[in-house]
Structure 1
């Protein structure tokens, strides 16, 4: 008997199946009902102007906000004034000390075999060349894996180039995959003897704008000059290497470590009615890199979470206190998040979440909630669906700033933005206001408003969880 005949018999048998047998199949669960008050708050937030006002003001009146510099201090003052004007309570700054890194002169050129000028920027925490720069042979590694397989000592007296093939991804997962070239690639090159390193920018664009970002130096590794090339210039070097001729580069990088400076977290609250119910922690980071004005990274994040909390502030008091934090010094190593956990880790937090992935539409949410609070996630699923947001299958708990607090066992709620175009602009001079779409920004505010309205008023107890690994 043929497969098509078998399929036809199966179809006939299914059609003839008694109704009682079909009725034994489990019915899908009914969606949770949406509280009309939550729906009203959500829909009103789609006309929000507060978030845009914050982003526009912060990028226009302050601009770039490099951590632990005078610019970040001005940003904290600006934030305190804005939060007080919006009516938030308990507005204050919590300062801490941290190392300061400052950018210097940055230039590079291919000396041979085909002389050309290059566009690049120093990576945060980069070491420096002499004032006159260095001129040295370039060893080309198209991937981080190629660098890892290079023999120890083989890069002595050379500049290591490390490539990558980062591609756009809605969930941003390619950043973790290819970002290793920036996160730890320079330190690995240093351990193998390199006198300097340049990487292909961790970005998905093809503009001649290099992407900066921090790099890490483990104990015992002396920082070497480390920079990121624009994607077109990185591809240029790889094409030169394919011609089989030795490449020589002149590199000038003169950043400096400037001792210890002050950074800080700006804290504000929407007071709740039940102090025992725990704090709902939300926010983003106030600092930025110094190439653009930090619009998508992360003026938009502090704006979105603040605008959402403002909508709860203007209504009946929620059960749980909503604490909005504009974290300082995220970019150079998450100093603000670590200090917040140090200061407030003994307080009871119900949930924590942050917005730090631009301002494009939220498309998914994920949670890490205790069993006692599972209905909260069901209500979120129903209330967020009209915004085009689905429930993911993963475990929530993402974010540099809230990470140290989540590590203490605090429940997590992630609202994931579409990252398809985020890494076109991330850490570049193009991180400016016109990269933000006002309508998508409003959708973000509506999503966070919905989450806060449900979580801050949830009757369920939200206890400790096992943190995501």
Structure 2
């Protein structure tokens, strides 16, 4: 103790009091106090609504109904490639699930889309050494290779910028390999950078005369998985065979390229058809006073087929359905209509979201949001509201704070399947989930029920029920120019 006292005294000698502190020690000195900062306005939540919010949160945190929903989807339907018979079974499953949960006006709104499915997807290192396979997945929209596959020398680029800057002579006749790593982030922001190569490699490489494209898997895991992904048609009219390879195989390929010339064979068979059938599944809780004003809750039904579609996006289907079910079970329906959109064909081009936006463009959407980032805990609340709606934002933040949700920004995205109505002026929010580990599982065989933490899923349902109920049971408006940051 004595040593601590001596050390403290030494610090006091070394760092004397500031001028302000010295003035405060002068007898008779009076410091003028600064006026307290005025607290920003917060919209009041009536006591009855607050009691309902408390009730919803408590019920959500005690219920595993959401887990039961996603377990049913994974077990009874499984993976659901857009436009496939499995996706059709998922629509039928969704209609039955939504009706069993007491929602009204349940229906399928059909649309068509181009169909793509890889029936063979193989990649081998041909030389140097003995031929050996890599773990690979054809990227959505890739055409088939010639019969027997395509063999060519590999040319490596660290990222898309390097490929774009390369002369045609460095690329022509070769297989382009984009070896860019993805950064891990809680908000998933590394994905936007890393995924660029998935859509841009084929058109850029084809324009330079390449034979094919390979990319390091777009993910943050170190498993020997090749992440799937891509649209049903390659961008800008490209028709270049394109594949993703696992991180481990990408490392081997990069190491071999440092030693000398490397040749690879790709073998892809793709089933490509026009006008495949898909559809959106819709359900509602009709508003008691303002039924024409819609609070839209979205998730997507389809999935890639290497995994089971549990976190992408079975978890989202479960979260929005379970949250809406809690609200449906209240003694009194909210003022506005709550609409569930379980969109089809999101993975290969957001076809369901586009179809919904076109079909429902003339309806009044008060606010929209989508759950499509797995099952991690909601940690932040973001909006895209008018300046005048800032007091409502703060009220939502206050209501969500008992769940550990932090205030965010006013640059919410809303989600892919609500993008069409967001661009038409509908306000959106993000109940942002912790995505630190999401891209370990995304579009891989590990997208299974094991990737879902039931406790985190319950917290998601509580956050969604809180926001959706309050948005639907008030007369608050959020539309207008977004507030300045």
1:406 is matched with 422
Structure 1 stretches lacking a partner, 5+ long: none
Question: Offset at 1:204?
Answer: 0.3
* Secondary structure, aligned partner of 1:393: coil
Change (3 A) 1:4 1:161: same
2:86 is matched with 71
Change (3 A) 1:153 1:73: farther
1:118 is matched with 134
| 8 Å Cα contact 1:142/1:238 also seen in 2 | no
| 8 Å Cα contact 1:144/1:162 also seen in 2 | yes
| 8 Å Cα contact 1:354/1:402 also seen in 2 | yes
* Secondary structure, aligned partner of 1:22: coil
| Residue 397 in structure 1 maps to residue 413 in structure 2 | yes
| Residue 457 in structure 1 maps to residue 468 in structure 2 | no
Question: Offset at 1:29?
Answer: 4.8
Stretch of structure 1 that moved more, 200-209 or 129-138: 129-138
Change (3 A) 1:252 1:18: farther
2:279 is matched with 264
Paired with 1:78 and 1:370, the residues of 2 have a C-alpha distance of 38
| Cα deviations by residue, 1:102-159 (Å, 9 ceiling, x for unpaired) | 1121111111113332110001111111231011111111212211111135422211
What are the within-5 Å matches in structure 2 for residues 302-317 of structure 1?
A: 302-315=317-330, 316-317=332-333
* Secondary structure, aligned partner of 1:211: coil
Paired with 2:25 and 2:437, the residues of 1 have a C-alpha distance of 48
What are the within-5 Å matches in structure 2 for residues 53-452 of structure 1?
A: 53-115=68-130, 116-152=132-168, 154-215=170-231, 217-219=234-236, 221-243=237-259, 245-275=260-290, 278-315=293-330, 316-452=332-468
| 8 Å Cα contact 1:376/1:455 also seen in 2 | no
Question: Offset at 1:32?
Answer: 6.5
| 8 Å Cα contact 2:66/2:461 also seen in 1 | yes
Question: Offset at 1:297?
Answer: 0.2
Report which of the two structures shows the higher radius of gyration computed on alpha carbons: 2
- TM-score, L = length of structure 1: 0.94
| Residue 22 in structure 1 maps to residue 33 in structure 2 | yes
Paired with 2:172 and 2:377, the residues of 1 have a C-alpha distance of 47
Paired with 1:269 and 1:292, the residues of 2 have a C-alpha distance of 30
2:20 is matched with 10
Paired with 1:327 and 1:15, the residues of 2 have a C-alpha distance of 68
Question: Offset at 1:305?
Answer: 0.8
Paired with 2:271 and 2:54, the residues of 1 have a C-alpha distance of 52
* Secondary structure, aligned partner of 2:274: strand
| 8 Å Cα contact 1:406/1:467 also seen in 2 | no
Stretch of structure 1 that moved more, 440-449 or 458-467: 458-467
* Secondary structure, aligned partner of 1:364: strand
* Secondary structure, aligned partner of 1:321: strand
| 8 Å Cα contact 2:383/2:409 also seen in 1 | no
Paired with 2:381 and 2:36, the residues of 1 have a C-alpha distance of 29
- TM-score, L = length of structure 2: 0.91
Question: Offset at 1:465?
Answer: 4.3
| 8 Å Cα contact 1:102/1:258 also seen in 2 | no
| Cα deviations by residue, 1:24-81 (Å, 9 ceiling, x for unpaired) | 1315458766612212211221112221111000000000100011110000000001
Paired with 1:310 and 1:235, the residues of 2 have a C-alpha distance of 47
* Secondary structure, aligned partner of 1:261: strand
Among residues 56, 62, 65, which one is paired with 1:50 in the alignment?
Answer: 65
| 8 Å Cα contact 1:330/1:401 also seen in 2 | yes
* Secondary structure, aligned partner of 1:164: coil
Question: Offset at 1:255?
Answer: 1.3
User: Number of residues paired by the alignment?
Assistant: 466
Question: Offset at 1:242?
Answer: 1.7
